[in-house]
């Protein structure tokens, strides 16, 4: 398994740059928020290492509680590794989905050997939290949104693959990624060049309560 592990949590992230997130094209924040999609169709084109580092650079600029910056990043680009992770995660979900209505709706897909949990994307970026810190999950979720918006601004697609989280948090899942026991996987995000961009999804009117 070929992995690139980059652990920045709790240490300064240093890179020579004139702008905090050099290389990500300028895009109005509202444009990026509106344009981001959960992409599940990718070309075979690889995402270069410099671009991946810029996405991680965007992620580490997220706010974190007490500035703990509890995140770590595991980058998986080896397709055989992604295939194995997909197969084992599917088996784990099928074995543990009893009574989980959210997982049950995916049974047909998960039982199909042709279904790939990572949609054959060229790279998986897993954001993990140091498990001893409070609010680590929340902080990593903020970092994940930064990463996905930066991917959109770079012309890339992304998708948070929530069905893999249960397996990645098992000892077997951590072992496959050489993830230290003290780290908790939070956000498995695939990134790649979109083959097709999904249309906008209608949004429900939010419930808003005004006080004062």
Supply the CATH number for residue 74's domain.
3.40.109.10
Structural domain contains residue 132: yes
User: DSSP letter at 38?
Assistant: B
Structural domain contains residue 83: yes
Give this prediction's pTM. Answer: 0.87
Structural domain contains residue 145: yes
Render pLDDT for 65-121 as a digit per residue (tens, 0 to 9): 999 999 999 999 999 999 999 999 999 999 988 767 777 788 888 899 999 999 999
CA–CA separation, 157 vs 37, rounded Å? Answer: 7
Total structural domains in the chain?
1
Render pLDDT for 119-176 as a digit per residue (tens, 0 to 9): 999 999 999 999 889 999 999 999 999 999 999 999 999 999 999 999 999 999 999 9
**Where does residue 21 fall: left (phi above 0), alpha (psi -120 to 50 degrees), or beta otherwise?**
beta
Structural domain contains residue 201: no
Q: Which domain holds residue 188?
A: 3-10+38-192
Q: What is the 3-state secondary structure (H, E, C) of 40-67?
A: CCECCCCCCHHHHHHHHHHHCCCCCHHH
Structural domain contains residue 32: no
Provide CB contacts within 8 A for 81, sequence distance 6+: 1, 2, 3, 176
CA–CA separation, 21 vs 194, rounded Å? Answer: 22
Phi (first) and psi of residue 123, to 5 degrees = -150, 140
């Amino acid at each position: 398994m070929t992995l690139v592990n980059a652990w920045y949590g709790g240490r300064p992230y240093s890179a020579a740059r004139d702008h905090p997130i050099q290389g990500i094209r300028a895009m109005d924040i509202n444009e990026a928020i509106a344009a981001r999609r959960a992409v599940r169709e990718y070309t075979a084109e690889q995402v270069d290492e410099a671009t991946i580092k810029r996405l991680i650079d965007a992620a580490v600029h997220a706010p974190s509680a007490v500035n703990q910056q509890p995140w770590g990043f595991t980058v998986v680009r080896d397709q055989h590794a992604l295939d194995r992770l997909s197969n084992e995660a599917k088996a784990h979900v099928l074995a543990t989905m009893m009574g989980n209505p959210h997982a049950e709706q995916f049974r047909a897909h998960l039982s199909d050997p042709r279904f790939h949990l990572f949609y054959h994307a060229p790279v998986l970026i897993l954001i993990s939290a140091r498990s001893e810190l409070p609010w680590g999950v929340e902080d990593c979720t903020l970092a994940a949104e930064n990463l996905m918006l930066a991917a959109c601004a770079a012309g890339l697609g992304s998708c948070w693959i929530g069905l893999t989280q249960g397996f990645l948090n098992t000892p077997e899942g951590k072992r496959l990624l050489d993830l230290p026991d003290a780290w908790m996987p939070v956000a498995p995000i695939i990134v790649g060049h979109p083959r097709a961009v999904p249309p906008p999804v209608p949004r429900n009117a939010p419930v808003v309560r005004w006080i004062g």
